[in-house]
Every structure is written in C-alpha cells, then in structure tokens.
Amino acid sequence: MDLFEYQGKQLFARYGIPVSAGVVADTVDEAITGASSVGLPVVVKAQVLVGGRGKAGGVKLASTLDEVRTHAGNILGLYIKGHVVRRLWVEHASDIAAEYYASFTLDRAAKQYLGMLSAQGGVEIEQVTESIARLHIDPVAGLSEAACREWVAEAGLPAEAVPLLMKLYEVFVDGDADLVEINPLILLPSGAVHALDAKVTLDDNARFRHPEWDEFTGLEKLDPREREASAKGLQYVGLDGDVGVIANGAGLAMATCDIVHEVGGRPANFLDIGGGASAQVMANALEVINNDPSVKSIFINIFGGITKGEEVANGIVQALGQVDITSPIVIRLDGTNAVEGREILRSHESDRLVSKPTMVEAARKAVELAR
C-alpha cells in the first residue's frame, strides 16, 4: 500500500522525525486558509502516487496568498502520469543548506534489509547510483547506532543525521513497511536535519496488525474490479487485455500472464487465489472475472500441491454451478492427482468449458476463444 506524501509525513511525525508544518487541502479556498495557518512562504504540492510531480507542474512555491490561489487552482485537476490531482499538501517552505537521500527497503535476494544514503538528494536516485552508500542490515540483529554512524560518515552526511535515520529505521521495521524514503532529506541553516519529502510503501500483508492503517485509505479511485477482488480477499491487478487469468500462487499467476502474451494474447488481469482452490474461493474469483466486460475468455491455471487435483476439480465444478459465466473457460490442471482431477473436468467439458494438459496449449486455446 503506497501512501501519499502527507500521509507518509504524518507517519514519520509519530516516530519523532521532523517534518514541515503543513495542511491538506481539497479546494483552492482550503489551500489559502492552510497557507495562512502554516505561514508564508509555502510550497503547494500535488498529492498523487507517482513521481515527477515537480516536472509536471505539481509543486510550486508561493510567497503570497494570491500565488497560493493561482497555484492551487492550476494544480487541482492536473493530470500527472495518468493520475488526477484531487488533493494538495500546503507546507511551510524551508530554507535549505544541503540536500541528501535516505531510504530503507528490502533486499530479498540477500534476505536482509538495505539502507541507502547519498549526499546528492533532490534528484531521481537512479542518476546518482555511484554516490550511494549501501548498508545491509541483519533483520535479527537490527541497526546499531555505531553502524549507523559509520554509514553516515561513509556517505558524507553530517552526524546530525544519525538520530533521524535511527527513527526512520524504526518506522521501516515497526511500521511493517517495504520502503521508507526521504528525498530530499535536508540540512537546515541551523544545522538540523529535516524530512522534506516522504515516500512510504506499507506491506499490505501486515494490515491485520495495524488497524490504524484504515485512515490511510487514499483518494485514488480503485479500479472497480480491484475493489471487488479486495472485498473478497483476492490478490488482483487489473490489466487491459481480454483473457481473464485465475491461478493459485503469485508466481504461477505471473507466469500465466507471461504465457498469454507469448502466444499472442493479452491478459485482462492478474488474479492469485492463493494456495488452495476451494469452491467458494474459485466462485469469488470467477465472479470478479465475469464482471469485467472486456474479458472474452477465462484461463484457469491451477497447480495442485497440498490441495489434491480431484479436490481442485470438484471445487471448480461447484464454483461453475454458483456463477453464471458469460465467457468460455479453459482449464489447465497439474500437480498432485492431476490425472484424477482432469477426469472429473472431462465429464463436464463442452464448447464453453475446455481442459488442456499444458500451460501453452491452454493459453493458446484461451487466446483463440477470446478472438
């Protein structure tokens, strides 16, 4: 779950990370009132879940209330990389002596946390990869203040950054985040360090531990398909194709999308139903796919593991009896007791329900039926 800048700053502030005073504004009048309350000059910032706001005209400095009015009016409704600006963050402007970059994220290959620091902040970090000081952190041992000091010195940041970075690490770990990033992390003329921006991605799998995350529900309008899938507990991402995809496991779902592309088709979605394939879960998945008017065929790709093939097949058959499907379905079933499962499916086959033994054959048939 990605947070807007203002939400990230609210989260940072709870952990004692210094951020600029600011207010949220959904209208021009609210922006003017907010600018008056935090004090001029202010920076008027578009709140969208993409980068490049400044280049797109979504970040403007205002020294007067008339300038606030002009900038707020121009930014609200602005399109930035396909996202419409519906909310602003009006923040008291800061004097900047130096700009840095700081982040914590996951290094899945190393099975460790990864901290990154650079004395060159305020630009796209990809442009300054040579100047990044990297620090791998054992999740069990954690980040010590001594290690943090060495890291800060290596990156060429002032020692004043150490306490802030220790707090940022706490946000990352205790906050169940996949990424926390400050770009720029600034040095004020007073010598204090300060988070001028905030980029935070929370691990949605940890939501059950954080009821407070409900307040972070953003303004971005969810794809109706994604909203329905989320309500049913399904992992779903809407795409722009016409072959509906259902698979059990994220890796298999991605591979299914890839094979559909490989044989000349376009997946309409990524949908992972998890490790099992019970009748109710399958029915929920089929309902989501069936409600997408762009879907012309459905490709169900299931690998039976702990859940045996005949159980999967019976679940699919029961689900088909619960949902009035409008598109033809192609099923590929493999894994534990796949032969028994295919036998069950074969007795229900028709011109609207086809079973194929391999992913390639099934993908080709699904693409054919979608045309």
- Whether residue 97 contacts residue 118, with contact meaning beta carbons closer than 8 Å, is answered with no
Q: Cα(105)–Cα(340) distance, rounded to whole angstroms?
A: 45
Rg (the chain; Cα; Å):
25
Single-letter amino acid code for the residue at 325: I
Contact, 260 vs 243, CB < 8 A? yes
Q: Say which residues have a Cβ less than 8 Å from residue 211's Cβ, sequence separation at least 6.
A: none
Residues identified as active-site: 101, 181
303-339: b (≥16 Cβ within 10 Å) or e = bbeebbbbbbbbbbbebbeebebebbbbbbbbbbbbe
What are the residues whose beta carbons fall under 8 Å from the beta carbon of 13, sequence distance 6 or more? Answer: 19
β-pairing verdict for 329-335 and 353-356: parallel
User: Quick one: angle between helices 279-290 and 224-231, nearest 10?
Assistant: 170
Distance CA 76, CA 84 (A): 8
**How many alpha carbons fall within 13 Å on the CB side of residue 122?**
10
Q: How many other β-carbons are positioned within 10 Å of the β-carbon of residue 124? A: 11
Structural contact between residues 172 and 143, judged by C-beta atoms closer than 8 angstroms: no
